[in-house]
Amino acid sequence: MKILIKNGLVVDPANGISGEILDILVQGTKISRVAKNIKTGAEKVIDASGKIVMPGLVDMHVHLREPGREDKETVESGTTAAIKGGVTSLLAMPNTNPAIDSAGNVRLLKNIINKTAEANVFICAAITRGRLGKEITDIAKLKKEGVIAISEDGSSVDCEALMLDALQKAREEKILVISHCEDKTLSNNGMINLGFVSTRLGLRGISRESEYKRVDRDISLAEKIKSPLHIAHLSCKESVEIIAKAKKRGIKVSCETAPHYFVLSEEDLLGYDTNLKINPPLRGKGDISAIKKGLKDGTIDVIASDHAPHTENEKDVEFDHAEFGTIGLETELAVAITELVKKGFLDWQGLVEKMSLNPAKILGINRGTLGTGAEADIIVVDPDKEWVVTKENLVSKSRNSAFLDRRLNGVVCYTLCSGEAVYPP
């Protein structure tokens, strides 16, 4: 099958293209040509005039909940949400039930992915068996099954020696370690950021130290054995500063933040909205500025959603009892366009770097580019079209979006995944 995408404003930082009007010809699963005015017979022609054409997003932090919590999300529903949001590749986090901690469980997940996934799903396995923090998983075997990263996401590996060991083995196997940085003795069963808002609302606070001290620890461990390290969901200023310094020292550390950390603050919690109960928590205005600055100056490499679906039953309860997390696959691109591109913090090239090219590089996967011969994961985006996030227009199985009722710019018109026009359905 040939698909021709005509007259789009192509943004492809991997090839130094920033907004030129070009045509893209897709043949089979690959991009076969990128040029002006391609004249060829194609089975499908997409008119992209006035639209942005960019590589499909690579979201390196997604909870698909399958196996185990199919009431919250499945591989099928999550990837359906992904392609609607422009995400063609995602990294599935291992905190499922059972946890993805063995070759057998990886095969189980791969089987589900092969049968039901609408987008490319890459697998992140757990660092320790059962995510219990006691015994390291068999990283070599996991790698052989196709796992591309390991993470304890949802918690941190508290034992320093164990984390060091994991970093060492991961380096040998050339597999990425992603660190969820949280010292639970410091976050102390908190609910929201520790500060005036937590005092005002009478909610137990989560200190900033609980995050950045663990960022600091894991970076020094990575430095010690010269292994690469990726830090997940940065939320506070101090973490950004620590990473900036580490990068200056030449340490191979990369990091991500999520859209809610550069848009929403603790003050948005004054109405006890449980959809804004997220871990790490929404912080202060100063943190939002630091995160945006970090994105702009390159300290923060990646924007990922930390898509964390929960049922209404788990969110429509007292704030103390509500689960942590917000969904994000369907809103991340529009939030980034509205809050970063339209407001001048990032240009289109920068956006594609943070949401596609950089995560692909960090994960070592062959995505994030529109070069000839590349995998044809392409999205066509109307950058101006306005929409409002409502429960009704979300397709994820869960509706716990931190951005409900928000007016956003940017709509995905077409998603191609491996040469197939998968969205709109």
Identity of the amino acid at 36: K
Q: Quick one: 139 or 264, whose CB is closer to another protein?
A: 264
Which listed range, 5-13, 46-54, 103-111, 193-201, lies at the site for another protein (CB under 8 A)? Answer: 193-201
Using CA atoms of 233, 237, 238, 244 in order, give the dihedral in degrees to the nearest 10. 80
Q: State yes or no: residue 112 binds another protein (CB under 8 A).
A: no
Q: State yes or no: residue 206 binds another protein (CB under 8 A).
A: no
Q: Judge whether 301 counts as a catalytic residue.
A: no
**Beta partners for residue 125, in sequence order:** 150
Q: Quick one: 63 or 277, whose CB is closer to another protein?
A: 277
Q: 2: left (phi > 0), else alpha (psi -120 to 50), else beta? A: beta
Q: Candidates 97, 271, 392, 405: give the one binding another protein (CB under 8 A).
A: 271
Nearest-5° Cα angle at 79, 78 to 82:
95
Identity of the amino acid at 344: G
Q: State yes or no: residue 365 binds another protein (CB under 8 A).
A: no
Q: State yes or no: residue 200 binds another protein (CB under 8 A).
A: yes
Total residues contacting another protein by CB under 8 A comes to 21
Q: State yes or no: residue 304 binds another protein (CB under 8 A).
A: no
Identity of the amino acid at 310: H
Q: State yes or no: residue 316 binds another protein (CB under 8 A).
A: yes
Q: Candidates 18, 98, 141, 195: give the one binding another protein (CB under 8 A).
A: 195
Q: State yes or no: residue 225 binds another protein (CB under 8 A).
A: no
Element (H, E) at 262: helix 259-263
Upper half-sphere CA count for residue 243 (Cβ side, 13 Å): 35
Q: Candidates 1, 140, 159, 317: give the one binding another protein (CB under 8 A).
A: 317
Which listed range, 191-199, 225-233, 397-405, 407-415, lies at the site for another protein (CB under 8 A)? Answer: 191-199
What order of strands is seen across the sheet that includes strand 302-303? 57-62, 87-92, 120-125, 149-151, 176-179, 229-231, 253-257, 302-303
Upper half-sphere CA count for residue 115 (Cβ side, 13 Å): 8
Q: State yes or no: residue 319 binds another protein (CB under 8 A).
A: yes
Contacts of 418 (CB under 8 A, 6+ apart): 29, 120, 375, 376, 377
Helix (H, G, I), strand (E, B) or coil at 279: coil
Q: Candidates 40, 111, 199, 393: give the one binding another protein (CB under 8 A).
A: 199
Upper half-sphere CA count for residue 366 (Cβ side, 13 Å): 9
Catalytic annotation, pick one of 153, 216, 306, 377: 306
Distance CA 252, CA 249 (A): 9
Q: Quick one: 199 or 390, whose CB is closer to another protein?
A: 199
Q: State yes or no: residue 265 binds another protein (CB under 8 A).
A: no
Which listed range, 125-133, 292-300, 315-323, 388-396, lies at the site for another protein (CB under 8 A)? Answer: 315-323
Q: Candidates 16, 41, 202, 344: give the one binding another protein (CB under 8 A).
A: 202
Q: State yes or no: residue 188 binds another protein (CB under 8 A).
A: yes
Distance of CA 195 to the CA centre of its chain: 27
CB of 193 to another protein, least distance (A): 10
Closest CA to 354 of 371, 370, 341: 341
State the alpha helices, DSSP H only, in 280-357. 285-297, 312-315, 332-336, 348-352
CB of 262 to another protein, least distance (A): 23
Q: State yes or no: residue 190 binds another protein (CB under 8 A).
A: no
Distance CA 73, CA 396 (A): 7
Q: Candidates 39, 43, 248, 318: give the one binding another protein (CB under 8 A).
A: 318
Which listed range, 116-124, 190-198, 242-250, 255-263, lies at the site for another protein (CB under 8 A)? Answer: 190-198
Distance CA 419, CA 425 (A): 14
Q: State yes or no: residue 272 binds another protein (CB under 8 A).
A: yes
Which listed range, 158-166, 230-238, 314-322, 384-392, lies at the site for another protein (CB under 8 A)? Answer: 314-322
Q: Would you please indicate which residues are annotated as catalytic (active-site) residues?
A: 306
**Which residues form the interface with another protein (CB under 8 A)?**
188, 194-203, 205, 271-272, 313, 316-321
